Amino acid sequence: MQLLKDRIRKDGKVKEGNVLKVDSFLNHQMDVKLFREIGKEFKRRFEGEEINKILTIEASGIGIACIVAEVFDVPVVFAKKTQTKNIAGDVYTTKVESFTHGRVYDIIVAKEFLGKGDKVLLIDDFMANGKALEGLAQLVEDSGAELVGAGIVIEKGFQPGGDILRKRTHLESLAIVESMDEKTGEIVFRDDE
């Protein structure tokens, strides 16, 4: 998606440890107009698929997922992160290893909001090692819902998540970063000349 790639080049900052900061339009301050274009692009890429629910993970996926859900005209559910040891009753839960924080946490979704008959599109801001998305896919599977696909705004193509998820479902990433240079700040996308 050219609009997004141009914006990443203009405002993205390459940080130590393979982290791309996009706080000025995606992860902190949010450009809702851009989110709407992102929503329309996902709608186009998943045209013809039956989708009746969007699932994301807190916190940074929520803003984007809300706008995407509005374009798809379906409800959005976000998996909650929790450190509670004894998770009570009526939830689906799985463990996720965090790329940005380097620790393992539990994610939960109430059984009330995900289950048989749901046709789910996963949405998230970033894909690195794919652990967050694998966790969401697991919750969908456990609930008996159908996983239709996953939409990612920025995939870091030099990390393994994309390849793992493509084996499991229909994955669409709007910008795939092939490489980035901490020193020069240069960002190369997968389909660049």
Binding site for ligand 5GP (CB under 6 A): 19-22, 27, 60, 99-100, 124-132, 156, 161
In the complex with ligand 5GP, the residue whose CB is nearer, 111 or 141, is 141
Say if residue 65 carries a ligand binding annotation: no
The DSSP bridge partners found for residue 155 are 127, 176
Contact 175, 193 (CB under 8 A): no
Contact 92, 139 (CB under 8 A): yes
Say if residue 131 carries a ligand binding annotation: yes
Give the tokens for residue 86.
């004894």
Say if residue 156 carries a ligand binding annotation: yes
Say if residue 137 carries a ligand binding annotation: no
- Tell me the chain's radius of gyration from C-alpha atoms: 16
Say if residue 18 carries a ligand binding annotation: no
Contact 96, 123 (CB under 8 A): no
Query: How does DSSP assign 85-100, residue by residue?
Result: SS--SSEEEEEEE-TT
In the complex with ligand 5GP, the residue whose CB is nearer, 81 or 111, is 81
In the complex with ligand 5GP, the residue whose CB is nearer, 44 or 95, is 95
Quote the least distance from Cβ 33 to ligand 5GP, whole Å: 20
The annotated binding site is made up of 20, 27, 128-132, 156
Q: Could you tell me which residues are annotated as the binding site for xanthine?
A: 20, 27, 156
- The annotated binding site for 5-phospho-alpha-D-ribose 1-diphosphate is made up of 128-132
